Amino acid sequence: MGKKKAVAEESHSAGGARAINKFRIGDVIMMAVIVILCATCVLPFIHVAAKSVSGTTAVMSKSVYFWPKDLNFDAFKRVFGDSSMTYSMGFSVVVTLIFTLLGMIVCTCAAYPLSKRRLKGRSFITFILMVPMYFGAGLIPTYLLLSNIKLLDTMWVLILPLIYSPYNMLIMKNFFMSTIPDSLEESAFLDGATNFQILRHIILPLSKPIIATLSLFYAVGRWNSYSDNMYYTRDAKLKMIQFKLYQLVASASEAQTASLADTGGVAQSAPEVLQAASIMFVTVPIIIIYPFLQKYFVQGTMIGAVKG
Amino acid sequence: MAKEKSAAKPQVRTKTTWKSALKRDWQLYLLLLFPIVMVVVFNYAAYPGLRMAFMDYKPAKGYDGSEWVGMETFIKIFKDRDFVRALRNSIVFNLADLLVGFPMPIILALILNELRYPKFKKITQTILYLPHFLSWAIIGSVALTMFRPSSGLVNIALMDGGIIAEGIPFLNEKWHWAVTYLLIGVWQNMGWGTIMYLAAITGISGELYEAAMIDGAGRWKRMWHITLPGIKSTIVTLLIMNLGRVMGSNLERLTAFENTQVKEFQYQLAVYIYNKGLGTGKFSMATAVGLFQSLIGLILVLLSDKVAKKLGEDGLL
């Protein structure tokens, strides 16, 4: 679109040379702004990456910018050698997978029936399922509830309370209502298919894009958040990798070394390099896959914006 | 939700009895059982716990043994200096977030829309979306690497360049912290925030632009008179949605930038609830603050929705 406009401008513009000139300056300025903003998104990570594979002395002498000095992988060896780090990573993967699977099931169970206009009691059930989006009970009542049902300090406290998401349900419901023609189902219905069969053999195969998108919403959401990890668990075996990183680095700003030493494993000397390696350990997986995720995220967000 | 009702109206409704509905759609109701059980167990079951706000709740005594105190807890929290400070910080920082953070995606969307090279546009967009996919733990720890007074990259670069003699305490002095904290928030959301606007821009008819060009309107004029009005409703809707969140606060973001020197500003409602509630066991106070926050949030959302509909926009509910 941009290109077409540019061509059109050059042929239609009454301003002649002046307009074209102005146009180019504007273009350069805008590209420069975008490049600078992109740099703020990329350079910090390049810096951390360079630091993570640099020698301790080079980092201590503050001469590492965006290129490693005294290249070595000692810090990474330490991080990978620290069983609590690799454990947390593995635990995060397991929790995220279970969470995503259960989340998609509960989401479909809610969205499919509610996408049927004929369903009796539909608006009431929708209301019941949407209330939690607008009014939460708050931390303490939720905490006591989870304590009463004996979920505190179990893996399930990181999964069950959040698998039902009103927002994701709305997106899926909107998708069903807007993209799958009623006629398709009606004919299946007349052929004697049950609701389950229609869902399995007609709806789900047609919904692959939204299933991919919402699975990623669930997975990335679970992967990145850790406040529940902070509220509801104490057991070191239940630390997801983001929480681990938070404790290791972000919260360690006051007494960096002390706090690092506490955790054993990834500890002692050269905290800066080790911190950088820990950050990279947690960040690289998401950076690698996010160019692929991004497309689905954009789609999902757009569908979410259209109301059913 | 309101919309669905009106959409369903035009259809001629033959009245189905519950019996026939259940017979035809029992499988659908069976499916609904799972999400309903989830919200009942994990959301609705927590609501009765809100009565703690009106009690002097003692964990050892439980709900039955604890004393009812009416509004006393609320009076107590408004006399609590910690709470007043947390409330002030939450409101001020959320409004500041809105003020600096809201226009940024709009400006960025306008710029991205004008970029001439599709490939350049695509790559830069992908890069700008990156921060949205990172946790606050990552952002917080990278920010520390960049902004530590003595060893942060920004300070090292400024000192190497001879611009400053001593490191700037970007995250270690409250006023510097306030600015850094806000800007990192803007940075995190600026790319991702463009999506809705870019979608709205694609909806604007190309003929409008052509007509404007024939009339000799330059790029800035077209931006001002066509693109901006074209995305006005998106702007209004998103603005209202954000206004509804003015009372919220994100513990992950706040704790990612936590340190003792900046407590004065970093102490916001989420931190208050966490510290008072789970930290020092003042359950009633923390619950009261949570309830207060939820209620104001709900009222703001409902008000925003009303305002949006008055303005002829879609509304949120």
Cα–chain-centroid distance for residue B78? 25
Phi, psi of A85 (to 5 degrees): -70, -50
Does residue B208 sit within a domain? Answer: yes
What percent helix, strand, coil does chain B show, rounded to 5? 75, 0, 25
Please give the Cα distance from B308 to B316 (Å, whole number): 8
* B45 shares contact with chain A (CB less than 8 Å): yes
Does residue B214 sit within a domain? Answer: yes
| 3-class state of residue B193 by DSSP | coil
Please give the Cα distance from B159 to A264 (Å, whole number): 34
Q: What is the ipTM of this complex?
A: 0.88
Residues in chain B with CB shorter than 8 Å from the CB of A99 are none
CB spacing of B28 vs A139 below 8 angstroms: no
CB spacing of A144 vs B286 below 8 angstroms: no
CB A212 within 8 A of CB A186: no
User: pLDDT at position B305, please?
Assistant: 81
- Residue-wise burial string across A203-233, b where 16 or more C-beta atoms lie within 10 A, e elsewhere: beeebeebbebbbbbbbbbbbbbbbbbbbbb
Instruction: Read off the pLDDT of each residue in A210-221 and give the average, rounded to a whole number.
Output: 91
Query: Domain ranges in chain A?
Result: 2-72, 76-305
Phi, psi of A70 (to 5 degrees): 50, 55
Query: B229: domain range?
Result: 69-310
Question: Positive or negative, the Cα torsion across A49, A50, A54, A57?
Answer: negative
Please give the Cα distance from A121 to B17 (Å, whole number): 11
Does residue B27 sit within a domain? Answer: no
Please state the domain count of chain B.
Answer: 1
Does residue B59 sit within a domain? Answer: no
Give residue-wise pLDDT tens across range A129-176: 999 988 999 999 999 999 999 999 999 999 999 999 999 999 899 889
Phi, psi of A216 (to 5 degrees): -70, -40
Q: Both tokens of residue B10? A: 């035009």
Low-confidence residues in chain B, pLDDT < 70: 1-14, 314-317
- Using alpha carbons, select from A89, A56, A84, A41 the residue that is nearest to residue A276: A56
CB spacing of B43 vs A136 below 8 angstroms: yes
Does residue B289 sit within a domain? Answer: yes
pTM equals 0.87
CB B177 within 8 A of CB B265: yes
Q: In sequence order, which residues have a C-beta less than 8 Å from that of residue A293 and are 6 or more positions away? A: A216, A220, B133
Q: Both tokens of residue A248? A: 């290791």
Q: Both tokens of residue B100? A: 């600096």
- Residue B253 belongs to a domain with what CATH number? 1.10.3720.10
CB spacing of B1 vs A163 below 8 angstroms: no
| Alpha helix (H) residue ranges in B161-231 | 174-190, 194-202, 206-214, 219-222, 228-230
Instruction: Read off the pLDDT of each residue in A240-245 and give the average, rounded to a whole number.
Output: 94
The answer, yes or no, to whether residue A249 has pLDDT greater than 80, is: no
Does domain A76-305 sit in CATH 1.10.3720.10?
yes
Residues in chain B with CB shorter than 8 Å from the CB of A297 are 129
Does residue B258 sit within a domain? Answer: yes
Does residue B18 sit within a domain? Answer: no
Does residue B317 sit within a domain? Answer: no
